[in-house]
Amino acid sequence: MKLAGLLLMLLCSLPALGRQCGDPSAKHWSTVLHLAVGPVTLQWTGVHEGGQAVCRLSYRNRQGQTQALEVWGEPEPNVTENLVAFASCADDGCDNKLLVADIIRGVVLEGHLPVSTQQTYFSLKWAASGRTLSVEGESFGGQPPRRFTCTVAERVDCATSGI
């Protein structure tokens, strides 16, 4: 009975892992990211105007089964905490939504910056230790850059940081 269940699970998961994500007519490729828990395969897709984004990641969970998570954006890994943050940016700026893939828990968490970031580009950087993500927006119109701090636990909570 266990063997039948395992075979059924593999048959159902393999097509999902094998199909391309993103625009079917775009270029697709994959890279491997090495986290503390093990390797994570990032599946990339080309996007309009020469951009690129990770659209799915896959890895082996604690039970040895391949697991895939749907994501979107440029990755910023936290190797020791086994987290990968994603910012989705295009030619007109970044979305105020952030995604964080928690590889240990097998979930994608969503966070939102507290103010609109339309027409703004920003970068992500993990703190030296722990589960804190710094987000820095570009300076615009002589204004200092906007900074946010996001903590990652059961959810992603973001707040404005000091200048």
Residue 84's domain spans which residues?
A: 18-160
In a domain, 88, yes or no: yes
Judge whether 28 and 84 are in contact, CB under 8 Å. no
Q: How far apart are alpha carbons 129 and 96 in whole angstroms?
A: 24
| Any domain includes 106 | yes
pLDDT in tens, 30-76: 999 999 999 999 999 987 666 899 999 999 999 999 999 999 999 99
Domain count across the chain:
1
User: Is-above-0.75 flag for pTM?
Assistant: yes
Residue 1 maps to a domain = no
The reply to whether 11 falls in a domain is: no
